[in-house]
Structure 1
Amino acid sequence: MELKDKVIIITGGCQGLGRAMGEYLAARGTHLALVDLNQDKLDEAVAACRALGAQARAYTCNVANEEQVQQTIDRIAEDFGAINGLINNAGILRDGLTIKVKDGELSKMSLAQWQAVIDVNLTGVFLCTREVAAKMIELKNEGAIVNISSISRAGNMGQANYSAAKAGVAADTVVWARELARYGIRVAAVAPGFIETEMTASVKPELLERVASTIPLQRMGKPSEIAHSVAFILENDYFTGRVLEVDGGLRM
């Protein structure tokens, strides 16, 4: 798919990987619908994309809310007149051990911790994919949907909720690729490893150094490298139903 003048939706588009993807695509002439909850940061991201010459608009939406997702996708289609792709990037963390015993005291991951992550990271991907695919079919727009999974989909200590959600995203990527191919819609995923974002910037430097030492390339990834991977999937018309691992060789 030629990126220039195509309409791409990015959830979680106001910061981190989402903003990096937006700016990367904006520089290639893509029209962007950035979806998130923080209006101020959305406005900043939209301004950055427009400064690169792209058409960009901001949409506040909770991806775990079915009604909001439906209304937002309808608005985007009305505003741009087409939808050619979606990047399911929105996600949250609520890390913690399922069971933890410290100084004789037992604690558990709460249902709220579990459900919040499942709602945004898995149900949100389902809702956005369903509504965007339906609108693309209605408008007879072919294109691609890219899901952001994670290296943690293979299981990571302290992330029972996150790992389950990202494994579900990887599995549904294959399901949707098979279901939507007949409509000219490809579905694929990127599974990032440890990436330099606002989230990791808050981690102690010595811990980040230990993490980097376990990666064969001896460094964390850059948001632009994930953006490049997403763009590859959008552009390559024969890539579908697969998860592209971008983790510096950490998961062998």
Structure 2
Amino acid sequence: MKVQDKVFVITGGARGLGAGMAAHLASQGSHIALIDIDQASVDKTASVLSTNGILVKGYECNITDEAEVETTFAKIKHDFGRIDGLVNNAGIMRDGMLIKVKEGELVGKMSLQQWQSVVDVNLTGTFLCGREAAAIMALQDDGGVIVNVSSVSRAGNMGQTNYSATKAGVASMVVTWARELARFNIRVGGIAPGLIATEMTAQMKPEAIERLLKSVPLGRLGEVDEMAHTLQYIVENDYFTGRIIEMDGGVRV
């Protein structure tokens, strides 16, 4: 499926990877519906991306709320007339060790709130948005494509019980949905990025970045444009479905 003149919904689209992938698709002639938790931020990104002939609109939505997701996707369908692609990019991190023991005493535990908040956004949010997009695409004449953003951490990573579990779940949805939705000509793919240069990594201490880069064979952070290029490959390759592309510079965790 060529991206030109197609309509893509991108969650977590106000900044970072979401905004970068949206900018790339818009530059290729796609129309974009951006979903994020804050209306002002998503409107700002939409105004930057809008150009002559390209429609970009922002939608405030809490993707953990079923009613809000249903209403938002109905609005997008009304505003754009159709949905050709969904990029399930929204996600959060609330890292912490499962337990902390010091001098023979238990001094801390990952809280239920740490666990549940990540599950709600990363897993439930991906499920709800994928379900609503699929319901719209299935009734169109030419299907569509869903791309879930997982993570190299889906294999398990210290201090990320919650995050790793959700990203593994997101990856499993790729395979499950690909098998279920193929009958409607809906393809489903996934990207598992490693360390990507975004506003979040820019706030990290240089020594932390240096330590992390020691695990990357290519010795550098990935670029948002490289992530966007991977997304475009999945969208445009009509025989690609049910698989995850690891975009991690060779990292294995």
TM-score range (shorter-chain normalised) is over 0.9
Equivalent pairs, count? 252
Q: Percent identity?
A: 55
2:198 counterpart residue number: 197
- Name which of structure 1's ranges 53-62 and 82-91 shifts more when overlaid on structure 2: 53-62
Can you give the 5+ residue segments of structure 1 that lack an aligned partner in the other structure? none
Counterparts of 2:70 and 2:56, CA distance in 1 = 20
2:14 counterpart residue number: 14
1:212 counterpart residue number: 213
Counterparts of 1:161 and 1:131, CA distance in 2 = 25
Counterparts of 2:136 and 2:53, CA distance in 1 = 26
1:185 counterpart residue number: 186
How far the C-alpha of 1:139 sits from its partner, in A, is 3.1
Q: Which secondary structure does the structure 2 equivalent of 1:189 belong to?
A: strand
Q: Which secondary structure does the structure 2 equivalent of 1:92 belong to?
A: coil
Counterparts of 2:186 and 2:49, CA distance in 1 = 25
1:65 counterpart residue number: 65
- Provide TM-score, normalisation by structure 1: 0.97
1:40 partner amino acid: A
- Name which of structure 1's ranges 164-173 and 36-45 shifts more when overlaid on structure 2: 36-45
CA contact (8 A) 1:27 1:53 kept: no
2:89 counterpart residue number: 89
Counterparts of 1:75 and 1:40, CA distance in 2 = 18
How far the C-alpha of 1:140 sits from its partner, in A, is 3.2
CA contact (8 A) 1:154 1:163 kept: yes
Counterparts of 1:250 and 1:238, CA distance in 2 = 26
Structure-2 change in CA distance of 1:190 and 1:146 (3 Å): same
How far the C-alpha of 1:190 sits from its partner, in A, is 0.1
1:179 partner amino acid: E
How far the C-alpha of 1:251 sits from its partner, in A, is 1.8
Structure-2 change in CA distance of 1:79 and 1:86 (3 Å): same
Counterparts of 1:105 and 1:202, CA distance in 2 = 31
CA contact (8 A) 2:99 2:106 kept: no
Q: Which secondary structure does the structure 1 equivalent of 2:18 belong to?
A: helix
Can you give the 5+ residue segments of structure 2 that lack an aligned partner in the other structure? none
1:131 partner amino acid: E
CA contact (8 A) 1:26 1:53 kept: no
Counterparts of 2:30 and 2:138, CA distance in 1 = 20
Q: Which secondary structure does the structure 2 equivalent of 1:106 belong to?
A: strand
Q: Deviations over 1:206-233 (max 9, x none)?
A: 1101111221000011111111111110
- Provide TM-score, normalisation by structure 2: 0.96
Counterparts of 1:45 and 1:154, CA distance in 2 = 33
2:8 partner amino acid: I
2:24 counterpart residue number: 24
Counterparts of 1:71 and 1:88, CA distance in 2 = 17
Counterparts of 2:158 and 2:146, CA distance in 1 = 29
1:230 partner amino acid: L
CA contact (8 A) 1:23 1:52 kept: no
Counterparts of 1:236 and 1:175, CA distance in 2 = 19
CA contact (8 A) 2:10 2:18 kept: yes
